[in-house]
Amino acid sequence: MKSEKRAKPKIGVFKFASCDGCQLTLLDAEEDLLAVAQAVEIAYFPEASRRMRKGPFDIALVEGSITTHHDAQRIHQIRRASKLLVTIGACATSGGIQALRNWQDAGEMARVVYARPSYISTLKLSTPIAEHVEVDYELRGCPIQKGQLLELLSALLAGRKPNVPTYSVCVECKRRGSVCVMVAQGIPCLGPVTQAGCGAICPAYNRGCYGCFGPMESPNTTALSDHFRILGQTPTQIQHAWRGMNAWAWEFRKASEEVKVP
């Protein structure tokens, strides 16, 4: 009995700067949640349980980006205590929406005075987990997609490679049978350069993709910026399109900095 319990892989869920949406995805897996809970030991998940076990962990699911000195140290402890470390969601994989502050003008920040500046301590940049420790797998999205999370967990439990495609949202749009919003209506859409996974939700809801799954493998961002210009977007609009939930992801960041804003 006891040894059987031991054999269950131990999972920890850890949070850094984030909105909690990605870990909520785990609780939102209503139909599968109890099955997951049977297959693994959820040893550390403060948002769901009062019982907090110490490591080591077989799998650490890490949500959120690094924005404080304390967190920059904490992620190393988690890495040391975990066999596999998986980052979940745009905050963890790219620095998240809060990475927008990475472009804030330091001079302006300095001129502005907090009511109680000494009470807060943060780093200048919001950075992805992979800039601090080695990451074994990542799940994209803001938030991550439930099906991808379950696929990843079952693959890791079975010891196989997770099937997480790296092609673009366009492929999913075609599969879903959506009419291309960019071709048909001239709506700017990041679908051609954004990694699949969501199932192409936005075009199905009559709007352009805003890139919440981050850059696909080798995206042609320059061509898309050019196309947005042809569609009548201003340089600021184009720059802002790249600076969303994955602004600090290298390909999007580069694309945003290439835009000449007068």
Partner 1 sequence: MKTRRVIHVPVLARVEGEGGLYIRVQGGRVMDVKLNIYEPPRFFEAFLRGRSWQEAPDIVARICGICPIAYQMSCVQAMEQIFGLTVDPMVRLLRRLIYCGEWIESHTLHVGMLHAPDFLGYDDSLAMAKDHPQFVQDVLALKKTGNDLMGLLGGREIHPVSLCVGGFYRAPTRRQLQAMVGPLERARDLALRLLRRVAAFDFPDFNLDYEFVALSHPSEYAITEGRIVSNRGLNIPVTAYEDHFIEQHVAHSNALHSIRRQGGSYLVGPLARFNLNFAQLGEELSKLAQECGVSPPCRNPFRSIIVRMLETLFACEEALRLIACYEPPERPCVDVTPRAGIGTACTEAPRGLIYHRYQVDENGNILAAKIVPPTSQNQKQIEEDLRRVVDGMIDKSEAEITWRSEQAVRNYDPCISCATHFLKLHLERS
Question: Which residues of the shown chain bind partner 1 in the complex (CB under 8 A)?
Answer: 15-22, 24-25, 27-28, 30-31, 33-34, 37, 42, 45-52, 67-68, 71, 96-98, 100-101, 104, 111-116, 119-120, 122, 126, 142-143, 198, 201-202, 204-207, 210, 212, 237, 240, 244-245
**Which of 238, 245 has the CB closer to ligand SF4?**
245
Strands of 57-63's sheet, edge to edge?
41-44, 10-15, 57-63, 82-88, 137-139
Closest Cα to residue 194, out of 136, 126, 244?
A: 244
Contact of residue 194 among ligand SF4, partner 1, none (CB under 5-8 Å per partner type): ligand SF4
Report yes or no: 228 and 220 within 8 Å, Cβ to Cβ.
no
Round to whole Å and give the CA distance between 139 and 165: 10
Residue ranges in contact with ligand SF4 by CB under 6 A: 18-19, 21-22, 63, 89-91, 96-97, 142-143, 169, 194, 198, 200-202, 209-213, 245
Residue 68 near which of partner 1, ligand SF4, none (CB within 5-8 Å, type-dependent): partner 1
Give the three-state DSSP class for 13. strand
CB of 19 to partner 1, least distance (A): 4
Beta carbon nearer to ligand SF4, 126 or 239: 126
Torsion of CA 42, 15, 246, 179, to 10 degrees: 40
- What the block records as the tokens of 65 is 């980006």
